[in-house]
């Protein structure tokens, strides 16, 4: 089966240690591993580390699907009828339009890779103050098609 690729895309590799992390006062941290500019708009990829009890409230993505792959710790993930305590090695797919939310549970931080398909939403994480305000106020970030619809999962 042949797949088409953009002629201007080039293979690339990045190591997390080469990327300046975004550090938040609550102990959360993330790194944007790949942007739409790097992938021809196909995917945005972010590595997250969240301390216990931190996460993102129930929300809907109107423009992209989302995947999570847990590397360390445990992530409580809720999407539609799915409720999973995802440990290392767990892969989760959340299609656009389905309310979902997640938080770190247990005594240790959770570290996971999140993919946005297609790319775009990863750039919101380059604006952490705007992201935090959206999460805290439960407001929609219309520029990114992100709508907060409920609290953190319990």
Would you list the domain boundaries of the chain?
Answer: 20-148
CA distance 107 to 149: 27
Give the per-residue pLDDT at 2: 44
Q: What is the pLDDT of residue 133?
A: 59
Task: Please say if the pLDDT value at position 77 is more than 50.
Answer: yes
DSSP H or E run through 89: none
pLDDT tens string 79-126: 999 999 999 999 999 999 999 999 999 999 999 999 999 998 888 878
Q: So what's the architecture of 20-148 in CATH?
A: Sandwich (2.60)
Global pTM?
0.86
Q: CA 16, CA 35: separation in Å to the nearest integer?
A: 14
Picking from 13-17, 68-72, 107-111, which range would have the lowest pLDDT averaged per residue? Answer: 13-17
Structure tokens at 137: 């106020």
Q: List all residues 6 or more positions away from 1 whose beta carbon is below 8 Å from its beta carbon.
A: none
Nearest alpha-carbon partner for 17 in 28, 31, 29, 27? 31
């Amino acid at each position: 089966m042949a797949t088409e690729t953009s002629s201007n895309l080039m293979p690339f590799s990045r190591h997390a240690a080469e990327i300046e992390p975004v550090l938040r006062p609550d102990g959360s941290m993330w790194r944007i591993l790949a942007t739409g500019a790097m992938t021809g708009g196909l995917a945005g990829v972010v590595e997250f580390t969240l301390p216990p009890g931190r996460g993102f409230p129930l929300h809907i993505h109107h423009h992209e699907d989302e995947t999570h792959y847990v590397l360390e710790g445990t992530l409580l993930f809720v999407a539609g009828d799915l409720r999973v305590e995802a440990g290392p090695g767990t892969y989760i797919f959340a299609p656009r339009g389905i309310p979902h939310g997640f938080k770190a549970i247990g005594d240790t931080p959770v570290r996971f890779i999140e993919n946005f398909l297609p790319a775009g939403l990863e750039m919101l994480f380059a604006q952490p103050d705007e992201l935090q305000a959206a999460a805290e106020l439960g407001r929609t970030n219309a520029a990114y098609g992100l709508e907060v619809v409920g609290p953190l999962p319990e």
